[in-house]
Structure 1
Amino acid sequence: MFKNLIRKWQRKKLLDKKYDFLFDEAPYGEFISLDCETTGLNPKKDEILSIGAVLIKENKVLMRKTFNIFLKPSKNINPESIKVHLLREIDLQNAIEPDDAIYKLLEFIGSRPIVGYYIEFDMSIISKYTKQLIGIKLPNEAIEVSGMYYDIRKSTENYGFIDLKFDTIMKFLDIPVLGKHDALNDAIMTSMIFLKLKEIQKQNNSQKNKL
């Protein structure tokens, strides 16, 4: 109920009605797995350098439906941050203007739920741009894979410590690590995590129903 009220309020605040499709009912069984590489971890002052995303449909990762884009930073990249996102000035030579990148992203994701690893940060920093461009935060539902993983593990770990690191989750689910660390590869790996966790949830629910 409360979420519906927020969405109605956001829809009224939308500056460009061309993007009213963000509030449409999401296509059944479709999700977008998304990851951003940024200049830092403060969504209020840092910038997005690249966005990677992939479409999940009918429990499949559609590799032909990927989104991979680089954004021009407003200033020189801090050398310390390069150690994290691994993007150098030369890697961003063909980057596009942030506004154009965000508009393209909105067209790609549509009204689908967005899946991610610590997706709250990605949604927050993207929303910084969308608020300037269309007047609202990104309205899509967010699905956190580390939360899904925690819920599954806590039922068997007797509430002991549960390691939520990305690599730990990947290893537990026996998902191969893609070679290069970048936004698109991270989005693809996150999509595989999501599908495996969904399948485990389904199996667990099935077992509960039999009891």
Structure 2
Amino acid sequence: MKHVTGATPLSMLNAVALDTETTGLDPKKARIVQIGAVRISNGKVTPSDCMEKLVDPGEPIPAQSTAFHGITNAMVRLARPFPEVWRDTQDFIGARLVVGYAIGFDLAVLERECVRSGQRWVRPRTLCIRLLAQLANPSLPDYSLDIIAAWLDVSIVGRHTALGDAEATAEIFIALVPKLEAVGIRTVGEAERATLRQTGQGTNSDAARKAGWAAPVIDGGEIELQRTFSQFDPYAYQHRVGDMMSKPPVVVDGSLPLRDLVTLMTDRRISSVFIHPQA
């Protein structure tokens, strides 16, 4: 599947709606206990095309968090750790854009989990339905998931479960598309630019940043640049040749037959040599 571009119409978008449940609301400390996601294909939600995974957070789940999402310590005792579940999640997302509600929180927690467990973090391209709803209808009394869903006549089944909220997010996004088109936002790029203008002006965005949330949307070109560089192993660019080669360096005559050169390198367990025509 091709990567999403700024010219991709929102009505034809291939995306993944994603939600996490955590041990708390501080992204600097919260651990993930559940990840849920559902795919949006060509602008349509397929509820059966989904994933939901419990995650072992490696620490007790506070009682107040269990009261919120219903996930207990017993439920995650046999769950897999974050690195394993995250690999499955990345495979599920693939090259798709990620849609979320207040996605800046999820991104911050996911990035911190990756850093904590030594996983490489590559930020996906994202859109936030909370911010898109503000663009589509600036007069709503507030922008909770429940209020937005009620405005768009979207039912939420399984509230405060990762998959239930992800499915609601997907359905809300689909319902938002014609509302956004009515205010001149038709493509991914237009949605990103409008959101960036909005987050640059809002006090809510300032509060989210101070709370440690990630930016809900960043420029699509920057995302593609990060994606490109993430495909390269940076090790060789962070070290000098002398740091990586055996010492002293092995210098061979340029006339040495290739077969003998391979034998030499194999015997000495080295990956490179210097070749000198008169060694």
CA-based RMSD: 2.2
In the TM superposition, residue 204 of structure 1 has moved relative to its aligned partner by 4.2
> Which blocks of at least 5 consecutive residues in structure 1 are unaligned?
1-20, 207-211
Distance 1:60 1:72 in 2: 32
Distance 2:58 2:22 in 1: 12
Distance 1:181 1:48 in 2: 14
Match of 1:120 among 71, 81, 104: 104
Residue in 1 that maps onto 2:3: 25
Distance 1:205 1:44 in 2: 37
Distance 2:81 2:63 in 1: 21
In structure 2, relative to structure 1, the CA distance for the partners of 1:114 and 1:175 (3 Å cut) is same
Residue in 2 that maps onto 1:182: 161
Q: Which amino acid is 2:129 matched to?
A: V
Cα deviation 1:34-86 (Å, max 9, x = unaligned): 00000001122110000000000111112221010011121221112212221
Distance 2:182 2:45 in 1: 20
- Conservation of the 8 A alpha-carbon contact between 1:37 and 1:51: yes
- Conservation of the 8 A alpha-carbon contact between 2:19 and 2:106: yes
Q: Which amino acid is 2:54 matched to?
A: F
Match of 1:151 among 120, 135, 142: 135
Match of 1:173 among 131, 137, 152: 152
What is the aligned residue count?
178
Residue in 2 that maps onto 1:101: 85
Residue in 2 that maps onto 1:195: 174
Tell me if 1:92 matches 2:71: no
Tell me if 1:71 matches 2:55: yes
Larger-Rg structure: 2
Distance 2:83 2:156 in 1: 32
Distance 2:149 2:170 in 1: 11
In the TM superposition, residue 100 of structure 1 has moved relative to its aligned partner by 0.4
Structure 1 residue runs of 4+, over 6 Å off? none
In the TM superposition, residue 99 of structure 1 has moved relative to its aligned partner by 1.1
- Conservation of the 8 A alpha-carbon contact between 2:158 and 2:165: no
Cα deviation 1:75-120 (Å, max 9, x = unaligned): 2211122122211122224411211011111111112111011001
In structure 2, relative to structure 1, the CA distance for the partners of 1:62 and 1:94 (3 Å cut) is farther
Cα deviation 1:154-208 (Å, max 9, x = unaligned): 2xx3xxx7411111111111111214531001000000000100122224449xx
TM-score normalised by L of structure 2 = 0.59
In structure 2, relative to structure 1, the CA distance for the partners of 1:47 and 1:179 (3 Å cut) is closer
> Which blocks of at least 5 consecutive residues in structure 2 are unaligned?
186-279
Higher helix share: 1
Tell me if 1:133 matches 2:118: yes
Distance 1:168 1:64 in 2: 25
Residue in 1 that maps onto 2:257: none
Q: Which amino acid is 1:165 matched to?
A: S
Match of 2:41 among 38, 52, 57: 57
